Amino acid sequence: MSCSSLKTLHSLYQGSFPFYRLPSEVGHFSLDENRQYHQDNRKLRYYSPPVGIRKKDSPGWNVMDGYESHYVRRNEEEKEGLLHILTWLEKNQSVLGTHVEGGSKRPIDRDFVTWRGHLTKLLCTPYETQEGWLLAVTLFKGTFYISERETEAARKKREERTQEQERLMYSGYKFESYICADGPYGSDQMDILQDNLKLRTVPDSPDRQPSQSAVVNTNEAYCSVLLARLTSHSLLISGEVDCTDPSAKSSIPPSSYIELKTSAQIRNPHQQRSFNRYKLLKWWCQSFLLGIPIIVAGFRSQEGKIVSLETFKTSDIPHLVRGERNSWDPAVCMNFCNKFLSHIKAVVTKDDPRLVYLFAWEPGSDVTFTVHNDPEYTILPSWYVKAMN
Ligand code: 0WD
Ligand code: CA
CA distance 134 to 85: 19
Contacts with 233 (C-beta within 8 Å, 6 or more apart), sequence order: 111, 112, 338, 341, 342, 345
CA distance 68 to 386: 44
CA distance 155 to 18: 34
Under the banding of pLDDT at 50, 70 and 90, the label for residue 105 is confident
- Output the pTM of the full model: 0.93
Nearest residue (CA) to ligand 1, atom 45: 76
Do the Cβ atoms of 368 and 5 come closer than 8 Å? yes
C-alpha distances (whole Å) from 317 to each of 24, 253, 279, 281, 293 are 22, 21, 11, 8, 11
Mutate to test the pocket of ligand 1, among 74, 124, 240 (most ligand atoms within 8 A of CB): 240
Q: DSSP code of 237?
A: E
Ligand of minimum distance to the alpha carbon of 257: 2
What is the structure's pLDDT at 199? 34
> How far apart are the CA of 281 and the centre of ligand 2, in A?
14
CA distance 342 to 345: 5
Contacts with 41 (C-beta within 8 Å, 6 or more apart), sequence order: 28, 30, 222
Please state, rounded to an integer, the average pLDDT across all residues of the chain: 91
CA distance 332 to 102: 34
Cα dihedral 176, 181, 187, 190, rounded to 10, equals 140
Q: What are phi and psi of 84, to 5 degrees?
A: -70, -30
**ipTM higher than the 0.90 cut:** yes
Nearest residue (CA) to ligand 1, atom 6: 117
Nearest residue (CA) to ligand 1, atom 28: 240
Q: Which is the closest atom of ligand 1 to the Cα of 116?
A: 21
Ligand of minimum distance to the alpha carbon of 148: 1
Q: Is the pLDDT of residue 201 over 90?
A: no
Is the backbone of residue 21 left (phi > 0), alpha (psi -120 to 50) or beta? beta
Nearest residue (CA) to ligand 1, atom 26: 117
Under the banding of pLDDT at 50, 70 and 90, the label for residue 102 is low
> How far apart are the CA of 313 and the centre of ligand 1, in A?
22
Do the Cβ atoms of 216 and 71 come closer than 8 Å? yes
Instruction: Name all residues whose Cβ lies below 6 A of ligand 1.
Output: 74, 76, 79-80, 115-117, 120, 172, 218, 221, 223, 239-240, 261, 286
Q: DSSP code of 200?
A: -
Lowest model confidence (mean pLDDT) among 34-48, 177-191, 353-367? 177-191
Mean pLDDT across 120-142? 98
Under the banding of pLDDT at 50, 70 and 90, the label for residue 204 is very low
> How far apart are the CA of 125 and the centre of ligand 1, in A?
18
Nearest residue (CA) to ligand 1, atom 35: 240
Whether the link from the prior residue into 59 is cis, omega within 30° of 0, is no
